[in-house]
Amino acid sequence: MNPATADNRFRLIEGEQLQSESFAEAVEAGLARDPKRLDCRFFYDETGSLLFEQICELPEYYLTRSEREILARRSGEIARRFPRDTVLVELGSGSSVKTDLLISVWIAEHGSLRYEPIDISEEILRESSLQLLERHRRLTVHAIAGHFEDGLRRIEAAESGAKLVLWLGSTIGNLTRPRAVAFLRKVRESLSERDGLLVGIDLRKDVAILESAYNDAAGVTADFNLNLLDRINAELGGHFNRAKFRHEAKFNPETGSIQMFLVSEEAQEVTIDETGSTFSFGAGERIHTENSHKYSIDEIDELLREARFELAERWFDSNGLFSLNLARPLP
C-alpha cells in the first residue's frame, strides 16, 4: 500500500522518549559497569528487529508458536468481552503478525477497530501498520515509534472508548519481578475499570526446553545478540570484532530466568570513537544483554495482585508451555 492512500487511516507519531534517547550514553555507562551490561532495548534496530522475527519462526522457539495458537483459538472470546468502541493499544508490537489474529476477529465481531501499536523500530512499525491497513479496510492505525513510557502516555491521553492493552510475547519477562510490578502499576494507573490488560507470560518448565529456545541450532539468536556489537560499530564508531565474542544463554535457577551474555573469547581492548572511550575485556568476561524471566502460575497471580489487577481469564497452549492472561483493573 502506498502510504499516501492510507493518510486518513494511518498516523505515525515519534515518542518523546525515543527523541531523547542516547544510545552512546547508554553504551558508555553499561560497558563502564562491573559487571558490564547492555540494555536489551537496543537489540531492536532494523537488523535486530528482522532477526527477532526470524527467531519467532524457529522450531526451538516455542513462545511465539504457543501464543499464536492461543490467539487463534480464543480471539473471538476476547473480542466479545469488550464493547465495540474499544481501542487496542499494543506495547512492543513488532510485526503485529500474532496481533492480526485478534484484529481480524475483532473487526468481524464489531465491524471496525482502532489499533495503536507502540514499537521502538519506526521501520518495522510503519511497514507492519501499512500491511495491516491493506488487509483490513475497517481498521485505523495510530502508531507510536518509541518506548513503553510513550505507550503509557498514549494510554492516558486516550479520551474515548474502552482500552485493551496488549503486552504479548512474554516481553514482561525482560523485567525483573519488582520492575514488572512497578511497570504494571503504571499501566493500571492509566486504565479505568472498564479497560483490560492482555499479557502473554512464559511459564517455568524443563531447563532443556528453555535453554534450547535461546540457543537455536541455526545460530539466529546468536546473530541477534552479536548484532548489538555490529550496531555499536555502525552507529558509534566502535571497533568490536564480533569473531572475538560468542553468544551464551543459560537458565539461572536463583532468578528463574534465562540470561543472555556476550562473552569475550580473549583478553582485548575495544575503542568506541563516538565516546572516545576504550574498554578492557578479560578472557571469558561477559556482557549481560538480556533476562527472560519465567513464571509459575502462583507467581503470575501474585504479580497481578501486586499491580492491582484481577485475573478475568487465563488460557494455555495445547502443550501447557505458555499462558495468555486477561486481567481487569481493580478499583
Nearest to 288 by CA among 264, 265, 272, 271: 264
The stretch 150-173 carries a mean pLDDT of: 82
For 108-119, how does the pLDDT look when each residue is reduced to its tens digit (9 = 90+)?
A: 999 999 999 998
pLDDT at 17 > cutoff 60? no
- Written as one string, the DSSP assignment of 254-314 is TTTEEEEEEEESS-EEEEETTTTEEEEE-TT-EEEEEEEE-B-HHHHHHHHHHTTEEEEEE
pLDDT at 16 > cutoff 90? no
pLDDT at 84 > cutoff 70? yes
The stretch 4-22 carries a mean pLDDT of: 67
Local structure of residue 238 (DSSP, 8 states): B
pLDDT at 38 > cutoff 90? yes
For 110-154, how does the pLDDT look when each residue is reduced to its tens digit (9 = 90+)?
A: 999 999 999 888 888 999 999 999 999 999 999 988 887 777 776
- In angstroms, rounded to a whole number, what is the distance separating the alpha carbons of residues 59 and 225? 18
pLDDT at 7 > cutoff 70? no
103 contacts 113 by C-beta, under 8 angstroms: yes
Query: Is the pTM here over 0.85, yes or no?
Result: yes
Domains identified in the chain and CATH numbers:
3-19+61-204+295-329 (3.40.50.150), 22-51+207-293 (no CATH)
The stretch 220-245 carries a mean pLDDT of: 98
Counting residues of the chain whose pLDDT is more than 70, the rounded percentage is 94
